[in-house]
Chain A
Amino acid sequence: MNSMIIGKYVPGDSLIHRLDPRTKLLLMFIYVFIVFLANNEWAYGVLTFFTCALLFLSRIPFSFMIKGLKPVLWVIVFTFLLHVLLTKDGDVVFQWIGIEVYDKAIQQGAFISLRFLLLIVVTTLVTLTTTPIEVTDGMESLLSPLKKWNVPVHELALMMSISLRFIPTLMEETEKIMKAQMARGVDFSSGSLSERMKAMTALLVPLFISAFKRAEELAVAMEVRGYRGGNGRTKWRELTWRRMDTAFMLLLGLLAVLLWLLRS
């Protein structure tokens, strides 16, 4: 269950792993937008090549990628089917018990599903090569200009770190409470709806109380150690922007221009 705190991170020392988390975050944000520029075979070809190159550079085993894709695979399949079944344009390719499939529908469906696939592969890649803590640090640094408008950027980043830290702890706690209640005769896996709701209450109320107790203790510990917000606070993990990061951003700009030129 510790997978929660490190996300789906796959440890490694590839080029992509060593990039600054800020670079990877920017790559992800920009990529999500430029994917929508592609609207013909050539543009999709370039995008697919770029995405495969990233995948190759990251040296992430293919099986990990597949595992990361699984939860969203249904979106891709569903989008494809929606297009194939509902678009009525072009020539009929085949007919079967009253369902007609048109060639334009297959093309359109394939493009849109490929778009989703590429998006998911790149964002999953960032997730697989960066720990959530690194991402949190990167976000704090990228959003720090917003502090001028009183957006609590530092506090948000800190809360995210605390939250990530306590997810595994609360999972263990849930299991412990579950066993304790089962020992008292609560049945979690059968019974009528109202019995199940009672079982749920028996699990959740103690879970909430213990979580809040932890929160209270943590707050006291922070105050005792003199926590007083982000001003003047030094960092344990420092981010460094290298030449490789600049090179990556330029490459991404180039890709955007290329896609714009290939548009039809």
Chain B
Amino acid sequence: MRAKDLTFIAMFASLMAIGANITSWAPFLVIGGVPITLQTFFCVLAGAILGAKRGAMAMTVYTLIGLFGAPVFARFSGGFSMVTAPTFGFILSFILAAYVTGLLIEKSTNRSIARFITATIVGMIINYVVGTNWMYMAFKLWAEAPEGFSYTMAWSWMLVPLPKDIILSIVAGVIAPRIYRALNEQQTYNKYVA
């Protein structure tokens, strides 16, 4: 791994930490007094901008610093006890979601906006599917949920944040190529100066 990969991955993990709670001090997305997390948004961007491998690596670093006590998860939570939290599946799924989003963009020959948007939407769907199934499993296995708790019940809770994540994924698909291009221009400029 080159020094540059190292610093870019680390920096994206920091960006993800910012994104998880950015709305609590930049109030552009507060619904009903609750600051909305941009984790899914930053996660698909990690895959889109850094690529599959490095994006997944950035999400791994993010997950680890959160588990080891930095308050970087949504609502400034963190610490190893998050492993038992029912929502931990969403955090874990970021790694896979970033990987798949990155892969879909890397494999495409023409990097059109449509392609970026498809990739980010697929990333978001992975986030939801893995996260919700994990939540169901968590309640069934270690919270020992009683009979009345059903699979449909778990999914019905997830319908509330779904619309905002669809919109955010589309926005991610639109701005990813812009950042991508700005980054490449900066790098060619740096090469030229060097």
Q: Is the pair A139, B68 in contact by a Cβ cutoff of 8 Å?
A: yes
Known: A132-B65, A163-B14, A199-B28. A7 touches B146 (CB 8 A): no
Q: Is the pair B171, A201 in contact by a Cβ cutoff of 8 Å?
A: yes
Interface 1/0s, chain B 147-182, versus A by CB < 8 A? 111000000000000000001000100010011001
Complexed CA–CA distance, A123 and B79 (Å) = 6
Interface 1/0s, chain A 160-189, versus B by CB < 8 A? 101110110111001100100000000011
B120 to chain A minimum Cβ distance, whole angstroms, is 14
Asked if B145 lies at the interface with its beta carbon under 8 angstroms from chain A, I say yes
Q: Is the pair A72, B85 in contact by a Cβ cutoff of 8 Å?
A: yes
Q: Is the pair A174, B14 in contact by a Cβ cutoff of 8 Å?
A: no
Complexed CA–CA distance, A189 and B28 (Å) = 5
Chain A, interface residues (CB within 8 Å), range: 35 or more
Known: A160-B61, A201-B175. A8 touches B69 (CB 8 A): yes
Q: Is the pair A170, B15 in contact by a Cβ cutoff of 8 Å?
A: yes
Q: Restricting to A185-240, which residues have a CB under 8 Å from any CB of B? A: 188-189, 193, 196-197, 199-201, 203-205, 207-209, 211-216, 218-219, 222-223, 227, 229
Complexed CA–CA distance, A251 and B77 (Å) = 29
Residues of A within 8 A of B25 (CB): 174-175
Residues of A within 8 A of B2 (CB): 219
Q: Is the pair A108, B144 in contact by a Cβ cutoff of 8 Å?
A: yes
Q: Is the pair A170, B14 in contact by a Cβ cutoff of 8 Å?
A: yes
B38 to chain A minimum Cβ distance, whole angstroms, is 8
Asked if A101 lies at the interface with its beta carbon under 8 angstroms from chain B, I say no
**Interchain CB contact (< 8 A) of B28 among A71, A156, A203:** A203
Complexed CA–CA distance, A130 and B80 (Å) = 12
Residue of A nearest to B148 (CB): A86
Residues of A within 8 A of B22 (CB): 174
Q: Is the pair B29, A87 in contact by a Cβ cutoff of 8 Å?
A: no
Residues of B within 8 A of A43 (CB): none
Interface secondary structure of A, over-half rule: helix
**Interchain CB contact (< 8 A) of B70 among A4, A155, A197:** A4
Residues of B within 8 A of A127 (CB): 68-69, 78-80
Residue of A nearest to B49 (CB): A208
Seen from chain B, the residues whose Cβ lies within 8 Å of a Cβ on chain A are 1-4, 6-15, 17-18, 22, 25-30, 45, 49, 57, 60-62, 64-65, 68-72, 75-86, 139, 142-149, 167, 171, 175, 178-179, 182-183, 186-187, 190
28 pairs from A and B in contact (CB 8 Å cutoff): A3-B71, A7-B69, A7-B71, A32-B84, A71-B76, A123-B80, A124-B79, A132-B65, A136-B68, A139-B64, A152-B1, A158-B10, A159-B10, A160-B64, A162-B10, A162-B11, A163-B62, A188-B27, A197-B171, A200-B171, A205-B178, A209-B179, A209-B182, A212-B11, A212-B186, A215-B4, A215-B10, A216-B7
